[in-house]
Chains A and B, each alone.
Chain A
Amino acid sequence: EAGVTQFPSHSVIEKGQTVTLRCDPISGHDNLYWYRRVMGKEIKFLLHFVKESKQDESGMPNNRFLAERTGGTYSTLKVQPAELEDSGVYFCASSHLDRNEKGYTFGSGTRLTVV
């Protein structure tokens, strides 16, 4: 099966610009997660979708971040306007609705650099 796909793999934008990250989960995976790793720190939870519904968005840093998952398939994460501290690697992950003993399947991440 195809894995979790993230696009773009890299993005360099200026402070104040807008960037949209996309994640295509594994087909049939109802759970979709966004995580972020900043400066070699922990992989930090941002939010969790179950199908098209936001189950938990407690990790979203502020209202400059907007995530959507229209139709319960792919998801987008928009940062508007971007700030320097938003730089990091944004990972998307997906899993089946039932508890998955092997955790999530991660995408390769999008490395965002805000200059």
Chain B
Amino acid sequence: DQQVKQNSPSLSVQEGRISILNCDYTNSMFDYFLWYKKYPAEGPTFLISISSIKDKNEDGRFTVFLNKSAKHLSLHIVPSQPGDSAVYFCAAIEYNYGQNFVFGPGTRLSVLP
């Protein structure tokens, strides 16, 4: 059973608009979350993180929101750029005790010029 879910396999957004990628998790012990970005033929690279003590973390055009009660997080990209087109993975861990990050299936974002 998937502990980290990304229910939208793909998303298309117009350049300059906001991209919103969603992630849901089932394990209430998860308290640290990452977003990774992956281009074709490359490995995933770290994008942004959030701890459960926060509900928002911002880094430039990227903002991650965490709703602990709903076990839901989202990644907002504003404004979206064609270079943002990639697969985005959500990952979670129980920070102090977990041994490895658990990843979702990814969402393929296409930013159209």
Binds B, one of A11-19, A34-42, A72-80: A34-42
Question: In the complex the two chains form, is B41's CB within 8 Å of A108's CB?
Answer: yes
* A residues neighboring B (CB under 8 Å): 4, 9, 33, 35, 40-45, 48, 55-56, 91, 93, 99, 101-109
> Given A42-B4, A91-B43, A102-B49 in contact, is the A55-B105 Cβ separation under 8 Å?
no
The answer to whether the Cβ of B69 comes within 8 Å of any Cβ in the partner chain is no
- Size band of the interface chain B makes with A: 20 to 34
CB distance from B52 to the nearest CB of A (A): 13
> Given A4-B43, A43-B44, A103-B46 in contact, is the A33-B105 Cβ separation under 8 Å?
no
Nearest opposing residue in chain B for A102, CB measure: B46
Question: In the complex the two chains form, is A48's CB within 8 Å of B100's CB?
Answer: yes
Question: In the complex the two chains form, is A42's CB within 8 Å of B2's CB?
Answer: yes
Number of A-B contacts (CB under 8 A): 55
- Contact string, B75-106, partner A, CB cutoff 8 A, digits 1/0? 00000000000000101000110011111111
Question: In the complex the two chains form, is A103's CB within 8 Å of B36's CB?
Answer: yes
Question: In the complex the two chains form, is B41's CB within 8 Å of A55's CB?
Answer: no
> Given A42-B2, A48-B100, A55-B99 in contact, is the A107-B43 Cβ separation under 8 Å?
yes
Nearest opposing residue in chain B for A111, CB measure: B41
Between A and B, 19 residue pairs with Cβ closer than 8 Å are A42-B4, A42-B104, A42-B106, A44-B103, A45-B101, A48-B100, A56-B100, A101-B49, A102-B34, A102-B46, A102-B49, A103-B46, A103-B91, A103-B101, A104-B101, A106-B45, A108-B41, A108-B42, A109-B42
